[in-house]
Amino acid sequence: MSNNKQVFLCAINNILSGTCAEDCRFCTQSVRYHADIERYNYKNIDQIVQEAKVAKAHGALGYCLVTAGKGLDDKKVDFVARAARAIKKEIEGLNLIACNGTANKEQLTYLKEHGLDSYNHNLETSERYYTDICKTHAWSERYETCENVKSVGLALCSGGIFGMGETTEDRDALLNSIASLSPESTPLNFYHPNPALPIKTRNIELNEAINIIKKARILLGDDKLLMVAGGRELLFSGQENLMFEAGANAMVIGNYLTTEGIDASSDKKMLDTLGYKVAISCD
Ligand code: SF4
């Protein structure tokens, strides 16, 4: 994979939104915190395909099908597989990612058989700090899902969120845990506070975010995708060059799960101004 002045774009589609019973203190999709977001069950598959076409037209190489909830069940696995099949049938050249929470090997194998290339499951934060931000499930389950992804031969996408009140040691521990899984791609998110959520503020500054990207690049190696995802617009707006110079080579375009991002044409202009090309292939 050549990273020289190329940036890989990834888009997210929230195909089942805001209906999660878990208590992750950073997440607007938990029903416990009554955040003012759009909540819906299974999105129409034709609509998902149309939205994937738009993302592809904007230069997305990665396309991620996200469902709220702790993990996969039979109904959800079938829905994601049908969405994946429909997208693959109509659109060529998209790296299809699923992000559906904890998953066992059987479920992941089923998704792979139906066209998924990659599975995203973030470790979110250090094992130590995770007990402070989520009481309804364990960090070890997250790690286990990542191991399951690798064992069935899907590409692993795993990262986390920074700025949720964790210490510098927690950040280092998270990066080391991610690196121990050797994921193909790693999204780095920077916490976006929402008044409804228990975590009220973001404890991360620009220079710290830059250091995290630098450390991640060293730990993960040069041949992996290192993506700046949620919170990019809060920390790097107008100075995106800093994240690429620190080692990022990928970013999320369009909206995030429940927050608005930057429109794709502005991002393309930004990349052009900085002298980066949009990558057209993962090879
Ligand atoms: S399990 Fe996932 S969707 Fe549910 S509250 Fe936690 S992060 Fe949000």
- CATH number for the domain spanning 99: value is 3.20.20.70
Q: Please indicate, yes or no, if residue 46 is contained in any of the structural domains.
A: yes
**In the chain, how many domains are there?**
1
The pTM of this model reads: 0.95
Does residue 144 sit within a domain?
Answer: yes
- Report yes or no on 283 lying in a domain: no
pLDDT of residue 1: 44
Residue nearest (by alpha carbon) to ligand 1 atom 8 = 27
Ligand 1 center from residue 50 Cα (angstroms) = 26
Determine the atom of ligand 1 nearest the C-alpha atom of 137. 1
Among 133, 100, 131, residue whose Cα is nearest residue 23: 133
Ligand 1 site, CB within 6 A: 20, 22, 24, 27, 29-30, 68-70, 101
Predicted local confidence at residue 3, as pLDDT:
47
Q: How far is the CA of 74 from the centre of ligand 1 (A)?
A: 18
At 239 the pLDDT is: 96
pLDDT score, position 94 = 96
For atom 1 of ligand 1, which residue has the closest CA?
Answer: 70
Most ligand 1 atoms within 8 A of CB, residue of 25, 29, 164 to mutate = 29
Pocket test for ligand 1, best of 70, 123, 158, 258 (most atoms within 8 A of CB): 70
Assigned domain for 154 exists: yes
How confident is the prediction along the chain (283 residues), in pLDDT tens digits per residue? 444 689 999 999 999 988 899 999 999 999 999 999 888 899 999 999 999 999 999 999 999 999 999 999 999 999 999 999 999 999 999 999 999 999 999 999 999 999 999 999 999 999 999 999 999 999 999 999 999 999 999 999 999 999 999 999 999 999 999 999 999 999 999 999 999 999 999 999 999 999 999 999 999 999 999 999 999 999 999 999 999 999 999 999 987 666 666 778 889 999 999 999 999 887 6
Distance 176 CA to ligand 1 centre (A): 23
Specify if 171 maps to a domain.
Answer: yes
CA of 13 relative to ligand 1 center, distance in Å: 16
238 assigned to some structural domain: yes
CA of 68 to the centre of ligand 1 (A): 6
Q: Is residue 83 part of a domain?
A: yes
- Ligand 1 atom 6, closest CA: 24
In a domain, 213, yes or no: yes
The pick from 16, 19, 22, 32 for probing ligand 1's pocket by mutation, whose C-beta has the most ligand atoms within 8 angstroms, reads: 22
**Residue 256 pLDDT:** 67
Domain carrying residue 242: 9-278
Atom of ligand 1 lying closest to residue 27 CA = 8
